A and B are shown apart, each in its own frame.
Chain A
Amino acid sequence: MKFSRSFLGYSKSQVDEELYNLMVKLGDEKKSLIEEYNEAVREHNRLLTQHNALRSTLESARATASLMRRYDQDHRDKILQGIQSAAKAKVESVEADRDAIIAEIEQKVAEIDRYTDLLKQELSTIAREIGALAGSINSHHHISEQIQATDLEIEQYRELASSQEPFTAFTPEVAAQLMPIAMIEPGSATPHSMELPLSTTHFSITEGVSTQSSVTQLAPQQIDAAPSPVTILDEPTITSSTITRPLVLVAENDRDTGALLSSLVEREGFDPILVADGYALNNMVKNMEPPALIVVNTLLPYMDINHFIKEVRQSARWCKVPIMVLTAEHSKQSIIHALEAGANDSMEKPFNPREFAARVKGLTRRGEGVVCS
């Protein structure tokens, strides 16, 4: 069959050309599409590769993270365990130390209590001894007064005896007054003893008198030598001379200064009691009778001086005791505070011993502290 040379106005060659062009065009398009397709496939593959890579990275990261978490946990657990066991060991050791320290402290406290009790007992024994000896002295004084009262009767008797006149018996009153003399042990000799010729025919004395005894007249200063009806201690720690002397409490931590103050106080007719720190001072205040004067160093160890002075002024027993403070500080403030707290006088170190002695005399002469709080 032959195509007509014209098909819809086109010639065959034109149609062929058109078809050819179309075929070429389609081919080109197909080529480009294939290329695009290939490109897309390559892109897809690339992305897939990337995806796979990322996925594997993610998985390995997850694995690492889980490993790290496990390690971290293990590590933390180990550290915690270590810390806990160390802390536990430390706590146990501290508790053991604490128990040991508490036991030691309790032991020391028990020792201190024992010592304090012993000290208290000793102080109360001393106080009793002082009381007993004071009683003895009082009774001696009483005897002395009675003896002095009978001096006149003895003198009268002497005159009567020497006049060799018969005389009547002593009246009961005179005999009673003579009784204390007769109670004195026969034969106790003093420079003032005197023999009275007693004759039973001339007088009778009521009960208890030996007619052959020598009656000893005791001058007042001989009282101490005479035995007394009061119980005498075997080893008195305070001599009779100190009982008659008032006490001065000296609180000074420096030994040399303390010895100096004690000597100065003794020379003024007082008996010093020396303490070296606040503990001893407080013990003295609790256990002894109020002294005539307190001399205290403002820098005494373990002692707040102003607090101490206030406490003394508030105490019913001690409030009238004069207080002198000794200060080594060149500061008027410490003196002012001490005086405001209730001290009566102050002296600065270095001090003149004569001035100190004069102040001691002045304070004890006045005899009273400030008005009690």
Chain B
Amino acid sequence: MLFLASSALLFAVVIGHRIIVTARERRQESFFQTWRQTIIDNLFQMPETLSAVAAEDTISFMLLWNNLQDTLQGEPKEQLNVLARALEIDKRAVRLLGSRSMSLRLLAISTLGHLKHHASWRQLEKDVWSRSMTLAIHALHALSRIDANRAVEMIVSFLIQTEDWPEYRIANILYEMGPSSFSKALGEAVLTVQPEKQVRLLNMMRYADRAVALPLARQLLQNSSSEDVLAACLHLLELFGDSRELAVVKRMLKHNSPVVRIRAVSALGQMAGEEDIKDLEECLRDQTWWVRYRAALAIAGLPGINRERIERMRNAQADRFAVDILSYVLSQQGG
């Protein structure tokens, strides 16, 4: 009897929950259909009269509004902010910051970031050092949108002090901020930390200014003994370097570590000319497959190198591994 009663109760709870969720989804869908075009029209001209957003539709509005903010750039973003302030969404977002629901807090943080709500700075700063990495990253992102210059210091110290930050999320933030905001501060930070942390910061330097990243990479290539740091620096040379870095890169082709040699040969492929083919041919005989493969790809990508020339090169090779890898690359190119 008890079993039946509890099953009936559970069933009723499930059905009731389903009804509530379905009703909520329908309401949200109806809201989206109504307000989507209104918000888009607002990008071009603020309407003379604006109907208020009901309290229960606040979340739906924020979702729609944030999605459009993430899609747009430039002046229209400010138009959206004007609309949101007119509808008092900023005040509602501040109230949601104190919500116990993580998803609502994240939505509020994202909204306040787009709104450039300076008054929330302190609260967002606290969230950066919360135990939840998701909350921290969202708060950092919001701070970077509110005031990029002021947020740089916080971002750099966050990167130094925490271990488990996701690279792609931080890369997204830095990409949005633009290289001029953070390059100098991040470049200085790279030189102050231990080699294990240096690698991750160097990976973020890919989004930095070339004028800061390149000298930093050169300096570390001279001084560092960590193979991961050397590999990260060589990657920066691959992205930003030119033929002036050839000497350094060629030196690294003879490094003990295969990781360093792989990066070196990739970098050489980006900056080499026909006169550097001999060095690349040497790499075709390397004991590590990836080095040979990158060297073959680099040769195939050199200007003026066509299929026949690669085939002649292959036929002239005495080393069977070199022959093999050139055949592989030729087959990748179709044939």
Contact = CB atoms under 8 A, between A and B. Distances in A.
B8 interface: no
B76 A256 contact: no
A255 B68 CA distance: 10
B64 A350 contact: no
A351 interface: yes
Nearest to B68: A256
B73 A256 contact: no
Nearest to A349: B71
B40 A351 contact: no
Contact of A255 (B32, B41, B44, B175): B32
Contact of B64 (A256, A330, A349, A354): A256
Contact of B74 (A260, A263, A267, A352): A352
A236 interface: no
B117 to A, nearest CB: 20
Contact of A256 (B44, B71, B74): B71
A18 interface: no
B71 A354 contact: no
Interface string A258-282: 0110010001000000000000000
Given A255-B32, A256-B36, A353 B67 contact: no
Interface string A331-373: 0000000000000000001111111000000000000000000
A206 B71 CA distance: 66
Chain A binding site: helix, strand, loop or mixed by DSSP? Answer: helix
Interface in B37-52: 37, 40-41, 43-44
B71 A351 contact: yes
A106 interface: no
Contacts of B171: 330
A352 B76 contact: yes
B333 to A, nearest CB: 14
A257 interface: yes
A267 B43 CA distance: 12
B37 A259 contact: yes
Which DSSP category, helix, strand, loop or mixed, fits chain B's interface? helix
B67 A259 contact: no
Nearest to B77: A350
Contacts of B68: 256, 260
B74 A257 contact: no
B72 interface: yes
B70 interface: yes
Contacts, number: 46
A145 interface: no
A354 B74 contact: yes
Contacts of B75: 352, 354
Contacts of A267: 44
Contacts of B37: 259, 263
A330 B40 contact: no
Interface string B24-66: 0000000010001100110110000000000000000000100
Given A263-B37, A263-B41, A267-B44, A256 B67 contact: yes
B58 to A, nearest CB: 17
Which residue of A256, A354, A355 has the most chain B CB atoms within 10 A of its CB atom?
A256
A351 B77 CA distance: 10
Interface in A70-128: none
A263 B42 CA distance: 11
A351 B72 CA distance: 5
A330 B74 contact: no
A263 B40 contact: yes
A289 interface: no
Contacts of A35: none
Nearest to B168: A330
Contacts of B41: 263
A350 B70 contact: yes
A256 B44 CA distance: 16
Contacts of A330: 171-172, 175
Nearest to B37: A259
A341 to B, nearest CB: 15
A59 interface: no
Given A255-B32, A353-B76, A260 B71 contact: yes
A159 interface: no
A217 B74 CA distance: 50
A247 B70 CA distance: 27
Contacts of A260: 40, 43, 68, 71-72
Interface in B1-36: 32, 36
B45 to A, nearest CB: 11
Contact of B72 (A259, A263, A350): A350
A254 interface: yes
Given A259-B36, A259-B37, A352 B72 contact: yes
A255 B64 CA distance: 10
A254 B36 CA distance: 12
Nearest to B43: A353
A10 B267 CA distance: 131
A330 to B, nearest CB: 6
A353 B75 CA distance: 9
Nearest to B41: A263
Interface string A314-335: 0000000000000000100000
Contacts of B74: 352-355
Nearest to A352: B74
B67 A254 contact: yes
Contacts of A350: 70-73
What 6 A-B pairs come out closest when comparing CB atoms?
Answer: A352-B74, A350-B73, A352-B73, A256-B67, A263-B40, A257-B71
Interface of A: 254-257, 259-260, 263, 267, 330, 349-355
Interface of B: 32, 36-37, 40-41, 43-44, 64, 67-68, 70-76, 171-172, 175
24 contacts: A255-B32, A256-B36, A256-B64, A256-B67, A256-B68, A257-B71, A259-B36, A260-B68, A263-B37, A263-B40, A263-B41, A267-B44, A330-B172, A349-B71, A350-B71, A350-B72, A351-B71, A351-B72, A352-B76, A353-B43, A353-B72, A354-B74, A354-B75, A355-B74
Given A260-B43, A350-B73, A353-B74, 11 more contacts: A254-B71, A256-B64, A260-B68, A263-B37, A330-B171, A350-B70, A351-B71, A353-B43, A353-B72, A353-B76, A354-B75
